[in-house]
Structure 1
């Protein structure tokens, strides 16, 4: 079923507020194979000039999973999750975030389009990440929806 582009662009998202905890940062650093003690040891982070453990660059993506239904927007658009592919992910960084920060994430669909006559549909979601109203980073993700019933 084709994605309604206008509905996708107008889809409301609730802001997400997330407290960044040291334990989660350490776990994430270990999971991605980060060995720099700046990301796991508070003293090393402070010696490097950080007030606490810094947020590793791609950690912001995991924060969106804090919402009650992180992929609920796809269901709201009638997307069959079995046909979803991760297309792309990128970040633009403006400031550092650290353990102890409370971050607010504000996602929105910025673009929706199709290729191959509708066999592939793309949803582009941008999330602004801020701390006390100050923009920290922008996360951009692209979800690809396969529509095998559409002839190519």
Structure 2
């Protein structure tokens, strides 16, 4: 048997609110080399018909990290703690993202994680936690659904 707490299968974390801050969003866009000003210049974004700067698609990763920090500040376990992941043997597995709509600076989104399943691979040398993260906006609905695999190397 592995390290993950498999009794958490099916658990959905409480939704955590994350506000997309203008400065952090613009910094992220510039850091990843985004050259379209709708990602870092409010005037350009508004001229293009957006309410504020647009979040790059890859910003969903940062939102997930911010949600984990926010959960800890609220006294809630983050997903790593919840499934009892051991960082000494934890590997990054696959990730996939489905984008349902844009997010903008100033948006407050809700982030929740669902522990879908646990599986084993390589004759028990690997155990895999399958997690889905949902990011949604109160008025505009789902924004991003992410699926990922976290892997413990056991042998």
Query: What TM-score, normalized to structure 1?
Result: 0.86
| Native 8 Å contact 2:90 2:150 kept in 1 | yes
Per the alignment, in what secondary structure is the counterpart of residue 23 of structure 1?
helix
Selected match of 2:150 from 127, 140, 143: 143
Q: CA RMSD in A?
A: 2.0
Give structure 2 stretches of 5+ with no counterpart: none
- Corresponding residue for residue 57 of structure 2: 57
| Native 8 Å contact 2:101 2:142 kept in 1 | yes
- Corresponding residue for residue 30 of structure 2: 30
Deviation of the 1:59 alpha carbon: 0.5
Distance 1:12 1:96 in 2: 24
| Native 8 Å contact 1:105 1:128 kept in 2 | yes
Deviation of the 1:120 alpha carbon: 0.9
When the two structures are aligned, how many residues end up with a matched partner?
147
Distance 1:75 1:121 in 2: 16
